[in-house]
Chains A and B, each alone.
Chain A
């Protein structure tokens, strides 16, 4: 057994018992990265020298904290002081922030050792990580397949044992979908649970920072470090943060689980439906009460999402104008040409598509028909969930309609690609927490099961997800030897 194969809590135990030093752990991580990175291509940049320094500092207790000396990765959307932050875009190819994201800073303050910055779809727009301006990331389960997206690098790196855990962001499913494709745990917390400060915005009212880990216990540990109000993010809320590890008790007897019929309909692979239904059976056998419910407005979530998200994105990405930072056309004769040439060259086609969609949706004369209507749909979706949560503790459904698809398979067809988010976007529209955990394999590829909770009730998600690991024995799924 190599150190890089272990979970965060296993590494912590070894480290606390002086059976492994941080330096050994971090060395093992880099050994693994150098072994597999050529195939997986999860990282945009590595911070090897600094990481090794921090590991040594942690060993001499100069880099203290709850996870002192423990390696982690960050999606390249988290600003890192002094370290290039690209958002997988040509626009920010050489951008070095002077500040850290709050979530990243909290991990640093806890003694975490940043290994590198992870690949993603450009500006988090995509579901396959093929939209990275630099290169595609490959799914460790099958290198010819995508890892999902937009946080595909984070999911792939955890799955390939390149880091024990990583942070990502989830605007429409960008944590849960790649977690499902790569067979790892992916938690998107409630909107407002984790600070968005220093995280480059895609759609501000939907973006939320979350965790990729190998098992549920690690997810709880990391949440303990990053959750909570940040005075620098006005949308982060003053809600008490519980000790999430206290939910790792598997006590799900009597828990009321809702199973929404709309999530088991047309377009969702029969094998996936079957896998999730089997999991529900296991829950029932363990004493949970499972009932079918309806979330009638689910079908409108995807179109409404693509209006709200693109509208916000059109404003959020307007600041990339070449004036203060980022790519700039220095040859333009006048400022208008400088703006448009810089943006034309800096952004990839999917980013341009979404900026145009959002600009259109907000335009005078179309606002009411598109953006305003989408906000109304958003309200209805929230109310659907609220009704179910009046009677149930959580909702269980598939995370994705299919397992990981082939690289290149959907790239030319944006609408098909958008359909990947159909089961994940309702959670974002309602601002709820959702977690994806592996619930089995289908044709050798992981199947993700999605658990959706009440606002700020990540604890119940962790409890139920942990229970499933215990009941099913499915924990730390590893790709077959020989693939990578």
Chain B
């Protein structure tokens, strides 16, 4: 199974655009406020209220389009998407239907060292809905409350082509898209706060078939992990169904995190008819070539460009470069650190090794790190200067991570300075030689391994603070 089928995946990603105010009114978009404190008659759909487009939203959408190699048509418009739901105050969502702000485009992902280009169909602007707060479970609750703080928050929906063929490709696409949105400065992309949301369209077909199979749209994917798991589950489910002679029906399914399974929400027959039509309250949007070009000139460095720079200017392997450019924060950390400690591969090793291990263990982002690039640079300099050993550095690093203290302070507090002073070391060496006559004898008889044992004893006696290079030289002399 699996050999004879291929999975076809397309993603629909909703990114919240980073604006201070909502898309059609002046209300704040700040996350986490008390329910219904960031609302006005416009975003709560009162009679006679009219939308006025926030120009910043258009600007961020254009920047995104440019970053995704899309075409920005000089004319686009808004449409009404009609459906009833208590969290949708006007009972229609202002969105873009047939003439979106971004057309076409692509991004490149890397899978096992191979580059793959994933097409982007379109990206369109729309307003978010509010949210329902249930007293307990949605099915048993006697009432639900509506919070409209989120109603009217600007979103960009980015739709990919069905170009992905595995869960890991889908994950790589979402990671890359997130990186691009972060670098372009258009979205915070916080999946846990809902500022980046993803639906996956999944179908399967026999290898060699060119037509697409019936697809399931999977919702409620709140993390990279659930995206991967849901696709894997869904592909398996569809293949099994086909092998059992069942037909796959087009439907919307939801990912159940507890059961690690997808389940049906509604079939195509039950699907909404959204009755899209042009939004008469907003004139069509004309976007001048000059505007687009002006935004192109102020476009920040994007992940692909940064990756090339890291490879070409610093000689980093492409693997390192790809990891370091996953977020602008990690790239900035790297760049700053290399500025102070110009050994890029060493910095990269520490960031990808120790730092990323600790961040992952603690479920943190690099922006949560309690020390900065200057502290890492200092730590690496201390190793080079011989003040501490590489091994000691790892311990100090963990301390830095936990306490946020600079390395010098940790070293001073714990008296951890490396001992390179010859007189001090000779004293210890002589004691060790005196205490281990048999081993010394073995060494003198040509047993090279015995030296290692003696070094170990010296390190033990100095609590690991002895400079291993100096110890080696001195020990040989004394023997």
Contact = CB atoms under 8 A, between A and B. Distances in A.
B146 interface: yes
B44 A324 contact: yes
Nearest to A195: B50
A3 B283 CA distance: 45
A408 B15 CA distance: 56
Interface stretch (A97-105, A136-144, A175-183): A97-105
B86 interface: yes
B52 A319 contact: no
A362 B41 contact: no
B48 A204 contact: no
B275 A363 contact: yes
A362 B82 contact: yes
A272 B92 CA distance: 44
A325 B49 CA distance: 14
Interface string B50-93: 11110000000000000000000000000010101010011110
Given A234-B282, A311-B277, A371-B277, A318 B47 contact: no
A458 B267 CA distance: 54
A199 B275 contact: no
Given A197-B48, A324-B44, A364 B273 contact: yes
A200 B49 CA distance: 8
A363 B45 CA distance: 23
Nearest to A339: B84
B91 A318 contact: yes
Nearest to B143: A335
A319 B277 contact: no
Please indicate which of the listed interface residues B41, B47, B48 has the most CB atoms of chain A within 10 Å of its own CB: B47
Contact of B47 (A92, A312, A359, A363): A92
A232 B52 contact: yes
A293 interface: no
B277 A318 contact: no
B453 interface: no
A415 B312 CA distance: 76
A323 B47 contact: no
A144 B106 CA distance: 70
Given A318-B82, A339-B84, A362-B275, A85 B47 contact: yes
B296 to A, nearest CB: 27
Given A234-B51, A318-B92, A335-B86, A97 B46 contact: yes
Q: How large is the interface on B (under 10, 10 to 19, 20 to 34, 35 or more residues)?
A: 20 to 34
A315 to B, nearest CB: 5
A367 B53 CA distance: 26
Please indicate which of the listed interface residues A87, A235, A323 has the most CB atoms of chain B within 10 Å of its own CB: A323
A200 B281 CA distance: 12
B280 interface: yes
A427 B258 CA distance: 60
Please indicate which of the listed interface residues A87, A92, A196, A312 has the most CB atoms of chain B within 10 Å of its own CB: A312
A86 to B, nearest CB: 10
A87 B86 contact: no
A33 interface: no
Interface in B263-322: 273, 275-277, 280-283
Contacts of A203: 280
Interface in A179-213: 196-201, 203-205
Interface in B240-278: 273, 275-277
Nearest to B277: A362
A300 interface: no
A414 interface: no
B285 to A, nearest CB: 10
Interface in B18-46: 41, 44-46
A331 to B, nearest CB: 13
A371 B97 CA distance: 15
A363 B277 contact: no
Given A99-B41, A232-B52, A319-B90, A367 B277 contact: yes
B277 A315 contact: yes
Contacts of B82: 314-315, 318, 362
Describe A's contact surface by its main secondary structure: loop
Given A234-B283, A364-B273, A364-B275, A200 B48 contact: yes
B282 A201 contact: no
Interface in A311-329: 311-312, 314-315, 318-321, 323-325
Contacts of A318: 82, 84, 90-92
A61 interface: no
Nearest to B25: A232
Contacts of B86: 321, 323, 335
A99 B41 CA distance: 9
A235 B277 contact: no
B84 A95 contact: no
A85 to B, nearest CB: 7
A38 interface: no
A233 B50 contact: yes
Interface in A240-295: none
Interface string B322-355: 0000000000000000000000000000000000
Interface string A89-124: 000100101110100000000000000000000000
Please indicate which of the listed interface residues B50, B90, B91 has the most CB atoms of chain A within 10 Å of its own CB: B50
Contact of B91 (A97, A199, A233, A321): A321
Nearest to B87: A323
A26 to B, nearest CB: 27
A231 interface: yes
Given A233-B50, A234-B51, A319 B281 contact: no
B45 A319 contact: yes
Contacts of B45: 319, 324
A231 B84 CA distance: 29
B280 A312 contact: yes
A79 interface: yes
A333 to B, nearest CB: 10
A166 to B, nearest CB: 18
B47 A95 contact: yes
Interface of B: 41, 44-53, 80, 82, 84, 86, 89-92, 144, 146, 273, 275-277, 280-283
Question: What 6 A-B pairs are tightest by C-beta distance, nearest first?
Answer: A318-B91, A205-B280, A204-B280, A362-B275, A200-B47, A198-B48
17 contacts: A78-B48, A97-B41, A99-B41, A201-B47, A232-B50, A234-B51, A235-B282, A312-B280, A314-B275, A315-B80, A315-B82, A315-B91, A318-B84, A321-B86, A323-B89, A339-B84, A362-B276
Given A235-B50, A312-B280, 4 more contacts: A97-B47, A314-B275, A318-B84, A318-B91
